[in-house]
Structure 1
Amino acid sequence: MAGRRTLAHLGRRSGWHPGPRSSLVLFLVLMSLLVVFLGLHRTMRLPMGGHHAWRQADCLSLTAGYQEAGSTFHEGHMHYLGNDGSGASMSDFPLLYWGVGHLWRTTGRSELSYRLLVFVIFLIGQLSLFLAVRRVLQDGVLAAWIAAFLITSPMVAYYANNFLMNMPALSLVLVGWYALVRAVQGQSRGWWVAMLGSFVLAGLMKPTAALSLLGGLGVAFLAGTRWRNTLLGDPPVRPRPVGLLLVAIGCLLPIMAWYVYADHYNASHASGVFLTGISPAWELDRQAIGRVFEGIRVHLRNDYFRPALYPLFALALVAVAGLHRELPRWSLVLLGTLIAGALTIMLLFFPAWEDHDYYSLDQVFLAPLLLTMAALAVRRRWPGMLGRAWVQLVLLALLVHSADHTRRRLIDRHEGWRSRPYDVQFAALMEIGPWLDKHGVYDRARVILLPDRSFNIGLYRMDRKGWSDF
């Protein structure tokens, strides 16, 4: 029972420890201040554009396809008509695209409503993270710090109200982790089901977001073997092999089935818009690998977190390793499995890491997980340390420093030189529809848009189906 007591009962408290209601208010105030400081309330009203406008336009174009009468859930279409002239293309499980598309049938096309929905899902994920950490640490102040550090990632803040499916997938992962904490502490079957449901839906939205599901199933498999006490100490579950096999099949089969179907759907329409397979590192030459590592270096400096936070993460890793006896053994195995899984994902989609920061978005939960485990170990060894004033001041300084870095990075992403070509060249396309109608080019007509090296940026903005010079 030592592992379960570790999560539920931490021991003597120290410092300022507000009650559940006060700590929730603290978290909400801190999040509100960060949202305003980072300008997320302003970017909510911006049209599609800025950093990674290409991928944003693909998501919005699929959503617009579901706005059309007669569209079906399992058949996605976009403005770029592709090789066979149908515009048929699929990738992520289209629950969000389908839902917003049907909403647009009533409200008309509104990117604000899309952004707002994604932002609400993001806030639910942040709240779940805070509640999970608070339950583990029994400390609302530390939980607020850890949750706040996540939004000071420029990558997280940028996609918090954006159009990509990666952020809803990450948020569902965080909801799943909250359900996991509740399940471990209370041994409630309902929370286990909620955890699995959240992780499965996250994996449907983004297959890489199934990392938590795979890690959990791996630990559960070890818990069902004769070596469980040696490997895991006192695991929170001891599943029967047949039951675990049925759970694994029930969780993984929908994810695998959907992406097999999406790959078949794209192949049948000769669509190459979305990557539904892998692109492993071992298929690259030395120069290409070097470019990817350079891209990762740039992401580490500008996009993932403020560089000043990396020493904190390194210190947390040292604390977890050095104080591992203070932590449940199964949690260490789970953390190691998740880190190994994240590295495997990187190797399987290696070229994407050069330019696409969002490929790592649904694995960023590892940062708060590592901080939480380190804080838990430190509080068990030295109960009063993390409540000291100087520690809180250091955390505050890091948070302010990181938030300022993220604010400047968001300005660059929305208003920097990378955004200007699209904004200047294609802004008029958002108003060209009436002019085309006036000259007899109605929305049923097919157009060729030059120059546009993307699939859907220009076509979506002018709301006409056709081809670009991709």
Structure 2
Amino acid sequence: MEGCALDRAGRWGRLVPWCLPATVVGLALFVVLGQGWVGPAGIHFIRQTDSMAFVVHFREFGANLFAPGVLDLRNAPDHGAAAGEFPLHYWIIACLERTAGPMPMAIRWLSLGAVFLALVHFARTVGQLLEARFTGYAITLTLVGSPVLAYYTFNHLPDALVFALVLSGWSLVMPGLVSDRPRFRWAALVLFTLAGAIKAPAAMHLIAWTVILTLNRPREPLGVGKASALLLGIALVGAWHLYARWYNSHHGTHYFLTWAEPVWAMTPDEQRNTWLLITDYWWTKYLHPSAWHLAGVLCLLLLLRWRHLAQNERAVLALLWASATAFVLLFFRKFADHDYYFLTLLPAIAWTLVFGTKAMFPWLRKPWARTGSAMVWGGLAIASLLLGRLEIHRRTTGAARDHARVAPYLSGIHGSIAHMGLPTDARVVVLGDSSANGALTAVARMGWAFPGYPAAPEPSVRRMLDMGATHLLVIDHPTPELTGHRHLTGTDHWDLWELTR
């Protein structure tokens, strides 16, 4: 009995140090997210519903992890077959939905949970590295207040999930790196590999960690098994993305292929315009402006004290900066309007803030100086949280428009149609949807959306029948002449018809 009591006490003792950072991060996320608990809607509605379509395809049309697909037959004409990010999380959710029923918010809760755990781990790790718990929490809350991170934390896109995997991986290995005794961690290998498989640019973190471990081989030998595991992780990331390219080419879809648009392929005017969009928007919408000021000061400080940093600290910063710079140069054009690309750079920014603060501490020997530094970070954290809450309110409370105009009706459409039991081989034409998969995810059947994305002219009813359509869903759009066809259900805003031949 005494031994069991000691075991329980030991387990609780290991959990207690996590309670405070978990409470701080949880409250901060709740404050920032505010009313942003509904969706999908708002910015990048198309990409959000694309993610939902992968889940629906796995649930309704096949559970083969290596045969992913969506619902839009215009961009993915071969029964929706399409591949993008490694779909493990979509597949797991779909398997659960086969038993528990549709859970359209599951992707968002998974992303939120992953980001929460990553930030808690980061806060605790930074507090230990700096030997200043309050400053560690303040740096973490400055990240929480990033409007981009906050928006995609509870979102259907996978970018915040990838950020969480990367941040967790570095938080696992960083204590060993800073102490100049880097250790191989199997959990970090899994996190970095999965992040790279979901989003190819995230593979730079796995490569960076591999390089650092290789540089430290004289002091901390890797061994054949661990070295092989690292190489296998890199190989698996490359293999998936090569397979995705082949899979899409084989099935005649290129919708989910991302290509580089490097800065040197742009005209001077295009470079200038993109740069202005980046600076004008990033400065106030991606991080608090004062965070950019402080980051600039800390970067300068790191350069001044570069020779005083530990070898592994220099290696981490150099590799993160180099990979982030390469990413920006290769995808420069996309930074004009793809705000979630910023999340790929955020780990480099986060660790720059940490190591810059660490490099500053030797100059702050007096208690009043340390207190002043903590107050600066605390003030910045509060300002960041307020900015994040304001931006989340702006992004999530506006009227649905443009590509997201069908967003208000998705749950109602699903609720009305789900019990009707449309045949699995039903093909639905949607009129009035400017996204590729938006309304189709509510119907949970394959089909075509018009105008859709990319926009296409609306077909005639005869053309719909020739395409193989069996049903027509009209959403806030003029209904074509449907004499002889059967009306199934609808509201003032949408109607579902069965097309009869």
Residue matched to 1:61: 53
What CA distance in whole angstroms lies between the structure 2 residues aligned with 1:291 and 1:248?
A: 41
What CA distance in whole angstroms lies between the structure 1 residues aligned with 2:219 and 2:438?
A: 49
Whether the aligned pair in 2 keeps the contact of 1:174 and 1:365 (CA below 8 Å) is yes
> Is 1:295 matched up with 2:277?
yes
Residue matched to 1:5: none
What CA distance in whole angstroms lies between the structure 2 residues aligned with 1:61 and 1:198?
A: 25
Aligned pairs for 1:63-462 (under 5 A) are 63-68=55-60, 70-81=62-73, 82=75, 84-184=77-177, 185=179, 191-223=184-216, 237=220, 246-384=228-366, 388-416=370-398, 419-421=400-402, 424-432=405-413, 444-462=425-443
What CA distance in whole angstroms lies between the structure 1 residues aligned with 2:353 and 2:418?
A: 57
What CA distance in whole angstroms lies between the structure 2 residues aligned with 1:436 and 1:130?
A: 45
Give 1:221 deviation, angstroms: 4.2
- CA RMSD after TM alignment: 3.0
Whether the aligned pair in 1 keeps the contact of 2:138 and 2:377 (CA below 8 Å) is yes
Q: Indicate how the Cα distance of structure 1 residues 440 and 203 shifts in structure 2: closer, same or farther if over 3 A, else same.
A: closer
**Partner amino acid, structure 1, of 2:50:** D
What CA distance in whole angstroms lies between the structure 2 residues aligned with 1:273 and 1:385?
A: 57
Whether the aligned pair in 2 keeps the contact of 1:302 and 1:409 (CA below 8 Å) is no
What CA distance in whole angstroms lies between the structure 2 residues aligned with 1:86 and 1:144?
A: 49
Query: If you compute each CA radius of gyration, which structure gives the higher value, 1 or 2?
Result: 2
Q: Indicate how the Cα distance of structure 1 residues 166 and 248 shifts in structure 2: closer, same or farther if over 3 A, else same.
A: same
Aligned residue among 32, 53, 56 for 2:26: 32
What CA distance in whole angstroms lies between the structure 2 residues aligned with 1:256 and 1:441?
A: 39
**Larger RCO, structure (CA 8 Å, separation 6 or more):** 1
What CA distance in whole angstroms lies between the structure 2 residues aligned with 1:52 and 1:236?
A: 47
What CA distance in whole angstroms lies between the structure 1 residues aligned with 2:417 and 2:21?
A: 50
CA deviation vs aligned residue, 1:113-159 (integer Å, no higher than 9, x gap) = 32222211111111121122123122211111111111110011111
**Partner amino acid, structure 1, of 2:317:** L
Give 1:429 deviation, angstroms: 4.8
What CA distance in whole angstroms lies between the structure 2 residues aligned with 1:403 and 1:103?
A: 35
Whether the aligned pair in 1 keeps the contact of 2:33 and 2:151 (CA below 8 Å) is no
**Partner amino acid, structure 2, of 1:169:** V
Q: Indicate how the Cα distance of structure 1 residues 309 and 278 shifts in structure 2: closer, same or farther if over 3 A, else same.
A: same
Q: Indicate how the Cα distance of structure 1 residues 36 and 197 shifts in structure 2: closer, same or farther if over 3 A, else same.
A: closer
Whether the aligned pair in 2 keeps the contact of 1:79 and 1:465 (CA below 8 Å) is yes
More helix by share: 1
Q: Percent identity?
A: 25
Q: Indicate how the Cα distance of structure 1 residues 209 and 236 shifts in structure 2: closer, same or farther if over 3 A, else same.
A: farther
Q: Indicate how the Cα distance of structure 1 residues 298 and 385 shifts in structure 2: closer, same or farther if over 3 A, else same.
A: farther
Q: Indicate how the Cα distance of structure 1 residues 91 and 394 shifts in structure 2: closer, same or farther if over 3 A, else same.
A: same
SS in 2 for 1:68: helix
What CA distance in whole angstroms lies between the structure 2 residues aligned with 1:20 and 1:328?
A: 29
What CA distance in whole angstroms lies between the structure 2 residues aligned with 1:301 and 1:329?
A: 32
What runs of 5+ residues in structure 1 fail to find an aligned partner?
A: 1-18, 225-234
Greater shift, 60-69 or 305-314, is seen at: 60-69
Whether the aligned pair in 1 keeps the contact of 2:42 and 2:395 (CA below 8 Å) is yes
Give 1:338 deviation, angstroms: 1.3
Q: Indicate how the Cα distance of structure 1 residues 436 and 416 shifts in structure 2: closer, same or farther if over 3 A, else same.
A: closer
TM-score (norm 2): 0.79
What CA distance in whole angstroms lies between the structure 2 residues aligned with 1:383 and 1:462?
A: 64
**Partner amino acid, structure 1, of 2:314:** L
TM-score (norm 1): 0.84
Q: Indicate how the Cα distance of structure 1 residues 443 and 313 shifts in structure 2: closer, same or farther if over 3 A, else same.
A: same
Give 1:186 deviation, angstroms: 9.3
SS in 2 for 1:454: coil
**Number of equivalenced pairs:** 437
SS in 2 for 1:264: helix
What runs of 5+ residues in structure 2 fail to find an aligned partner?
A: 1-12, 455-501
Whether the aligned pair in 1 keeps the contact of 2:189 and 2:230 (CA below 8 Å) is no
SS in 1 for 2:105: helix
Whether the aligned pair in 1 keeps the contact of 2:145 and 2:388 (CA below 8 Å) is yes
What CA distance in whole angstroms lies between the structure 2 residues aligned with 1:22 and 1:101?
A: 35
SS in 1 for 2:431: coil
Residue matched to 2:461: none
Aligned residue among 43, 50, 54 for 2:42: 50
What CA distance in whole angstroms lies between the structure 1 residues aligned with 2:88 and 2:53?
A: 14
Give 1:450 deviation, angstroms: 3.0
More strand by share: 2
What CA distance in whole angstroms lies between the structure 2 residues aligned with 1:113 and 1:454?
A: 21
SS in 2 for 1:55: helix
